[in-house]
Amino acid sequence: MDREKYHTKQRPLTLNRVWSTLFPNLSRPVFLIGAARSGTTFLGDCLAEVPELSYHFEPIATKAAARYVYEGLWNQAKAEWFYRTVYAWLMRLHADGDLRFVEKTPRNCCIIPFLSEAFPDAQFIHIIRDGRDAALSLSKKPWLAKSAADSGKYEPGGYPYGPYAQFWVEPARRKEFETTSDLRRCIWAWQRFTEEAIADTRDLPSDKLLEVRYESFGSDPTGEADRILNFLGIEDTNSRQPFKAAVSAFNPRLTEQWKRQLNEQQLAEIYEESEELLRQLHYL
């Protein structure tokens, strides 16, 4: 289910590890959330370096299930059973049931109320990136591109590649979404995921939510790494160092690419859709 992306940890097969394979630890899970192309993959790969964490990259089963939760097609009990079953299975698959579960799936931005109720001791890390850069990066992928409409390809969550409205698009704007430009669709995605995450984490206490700015990995990698590790309660120096080393590999040239690659007309499209949120987040 996530074998290709899983970071296998080289560690001894202890009695506790074997026992935990039968009864995986799902207490205090960590959900890494953020819009697509906002740095969730980078930060997830960094978290995978922490020995105490079992990091899972967009499990197909829960990625596909998000729409059923969001649209209310599954009640809380059914959805909770499904997610807990999948997460436990993933921990068993990698014999990491004694570690702390971490999942990165952008669609989780849309189902935070469910996750908070299903896992009341969960922690959320919300990574936010300048929407202009996130949209630019997403526009280079085929997932929402008009040119991919007849490709016959599907993303792991079940949607075909192309300009098709997914569950998170406002019902009254579905036709507009499917007929606008690729770049407009991409900033639209950033807007929806980011505003959902902000709204649904607003009331979480500081020990349950950490907001991270993608750009901070370039301006203050050490400080940002310490903030994340402290939030997660990772104190062992031998556990902190691999994470810090991974964060320090951040490429600062990936910030403010919009200044070099977007023209005035493209920026006007972005601002028409998301100027207010960009200002709210102090990107304007």
What pLDDT digit, counting tens, does each position of 105-141 carry?
A: 999 999 999 999 999 999 999 999 999 999 999 999 9
| pLDDT band, very low/low/confident/very high, at 1 (cuts 50, 70, 90) | low
Give the model's pLDDT for residue 3. 55
Please tell me the distance from the alpha carbon of residue 44 to that of residue 244, in angstroms, as a whole number: 13
Percent of the residues in the chain that have a pLDDT greater than 70, as a whole number: 99
| Strand arrangement of the beta sheet that strand 30-33 belongs to | 53-57, 100-104, 30-33, 123-128, 209-213
- At the topology level, CATH places domain 3-280 in Rossmann fold (3.40.50)
Helices 131-139 and 264-280 cross at an angle (nearest 10°) of 130
Question: By three-state DSSP, how is residue 265 classified?
Answer: helix
The alpha helices in the chain, defined as continuous H runs, are 15-22, 40-47, 60-70, 76-93, 112-118, 131-139, 174-179, 182-201, 216-219, 221-232, 237-247, 258-261, 264-280
Give the model's pLDDT for residue 248. 97
pLDDT of 147 strictly over 60: yes
pLDDT, averaged across the chain: 96
Is the CB of residue 26 less than 8 Å from the CB of residue 87?
yes
Burial 99-124 (b: 16+ CB within 10 A, else e): bbbbbbbbbbbbbbebbbebbeebbb
Percent of the residues in the chain that have a pLDDT greater than 90, as a whole number: 91
Residue ranges covered by each domain of the chain: 3-280
Please tell me the distance from the alpha carbon of residue 93 to that of residue 81, in angstroms, as a whole number: 18
Q: Tokens in use for 167?
A: 């569950």
Q: pLDDT, tens digit, for every residue of 2-58?
A: 656 777 788 888 888 888 999 999 999 999 999 999 999 999 999 999 999 999 999
Mean pLDDT for 213-239 is: 98
Give the model's pLDDT for residue 97. 94
**Please, is 193 exposed, middle or buried when counting C-beta atoms within 10 Å of its C-beta (0-12, 13-18, 19+)?**
buried
